[in-house]
Structure 1
Amino acid sequence: MKQLLCFGDSNTWGLIPKTNERYSWGVRWTSILQEKLYDKDVRVLEEGLCGRTTVFDDAYRKNRNGLKSLHEILETSYPIDAAVIMLGTNDCKAYYKSNSYNIAKGLGLCVDELLKYISPEKVLIVSPIFLGDSVWKEEFDPEFDAHSVDIAKGLFNEYKKVAETKGTNIISASDFARPSNVDQEHLTKEGHQLLAHAIYNAVITSNIV
């Protein structure tokens, strides 16, 4: 059986907007993907964590640095045949003082770690969904600011350069799904379904699994 690692943040973990709860199995995009890949003899490894970044350390929550987490995950679940990585939303938070270019550099370092175990043609980069225009307001998530919205919109173009340099595959989640109106940040049930279908099509048509 092949193993497909899905590495990401709260939109991979399956956070229900405006709650601390998790979407159930059958709703999360990772679980829908698993159900669609059963007949391909593929096991999906769900590795989503709320607040996870590419390379930044969260001063308030431990173990959110994606790069620092990857090595242990890759060794724990070895062998891994393919990977989907969707990170960058949390990197857009104001206190990281970053930009699309530097976030892409961080993603590139995560991809480099993946490539120690997985061939580049078996890696799919998923640029995350856009943030809602009001995400930074007090009633939503003031860890972001107005500039965060623009940073998120710029990620795909920078991630595409990473994919071209590393030889990986790439899609943009924002082509298929939008954040919930409830919190301007996380996927709705429908968004999980749409993203699952998009990622499934990508991993099949690109022979990732």
Structure 2
Amino acid sequence: MKSILCFGDSNTYGYIAGGLGRYSFDVRWPGRLERLLGPGWRVVEEGLCGRTTVFREPVRPGGAGIDYISPCVASHRPLDFVVLMLGTNDCKAEFHASAKEITAGLRRIVDVVKAETSGAAKILIISPASLGEGVCGGSDFGFDARSYHVSLELADRFAELAGERACLFLDAARIVTASGVDFVHLDERAHDLLARAVAEIILREY
């Protein structure tokens, strides 16, 4: 049995745009991924709404991925694959973070995963779907026009990081777009498309 850890934010959790709850496991991209891979594969979901790479919000304790990634990986070992999809929440206006700073945060998480798995787990870095331009007028989730533009820069930075740390890479923005409801979250079709793209990458490695 091969194990995959999917570590991300609300778009891994399966948050439904418009505050309508959470998609069921068979709709969320990690659940669809498990079905696409078939018998012999186990997918572990670790999606948390609001999760960032390293930035901390006083109102959301435990939301920084760097604070949880080590025990998370340790509790699910042995792992064959770790899929990281973070960066969206790092673009929030309150953090004033650049794409370079967000990438530095993700680099720290990648290094922890490598250390906790002794380099045995393959790592797939997914640059998340860019924020929709609609957040430029203000967002209930704390994004603004600057957030939108920073989100557009993540793919190139994350691709460089993947090359630097010998990780696999997927630019989700080439496959899916954020929902037109809130310009942040993925709809059901996007979850399906993302799952198929991730499955293709993983199966290519085996």
Q: What range describes the TM-score normalised by the shorter chain of this pair?
A: over 0.9
Match of 2:36 in 1: 36
Match of 2:13 in 1: 13
Cα 1:61–1:157, aligned 2, differ >3 Å: closer, same or farther? same
Deviations for 1:104-161, whole angstroms, at most 9, x for unmatched residues? 01001100011111637711000000101011434x4361110111100000111111
Is the partner of 1:200 in helix, strand or coil?
Answer: helix
Match of 1:75 in 2: 74
Mind listing any 5+ residue stretches in structure 1 that lack a counterpart? none
Q: TM-score, normalised by structure 2?
A: 0.95
Q: Which amino acid is the alignment partner of residue 14 of structure 2?
A: G
Q: TM-score, normalised by structure 1?
A: 0.94
Equivalent residue runs for 1:1-209 within 5 Å: 1-19=1-19, 21-39=21-39, 41-116=40-115, 117=117, 119=119, 122-138=122-138, 140-141=139-140, 143-205=142-204, 207=205
Mind listing any 5+ residue stretches in structure 2 that lack a counterpart? none
Cα 1:120–1:164, aligned 2, differ >3 Å: closer, same or farther? farther
Structure 2: distance between partners of 1:201 and 1:38: 12
Cα 1:142–1:50, aligned 2, differ >3 Å: closer, same or farther? closer
Deviation at 1:38, TM superposition (A): 2.2
Deviations for 1:42-69, whole angstroms, at most 9, x for unmatched residues? 1000000000000011121110000111
Structure 2: distance between partners of 1:199 and 1:78: 21
Count residues with an aligned counterpart. Answer: 205
Cα 1:121–1:25, aligned 2, differ >3 Å: closer, same or farther? closer
**Is contact 1:17–1:187 with CA below 8 Å preserved after alignment?**
yes
**Is contact 1:26–1:32 with CA below 8 Å preserved after alignment?**
yes
Structure 2: distance between partners of 1:83 and 1:121: 7
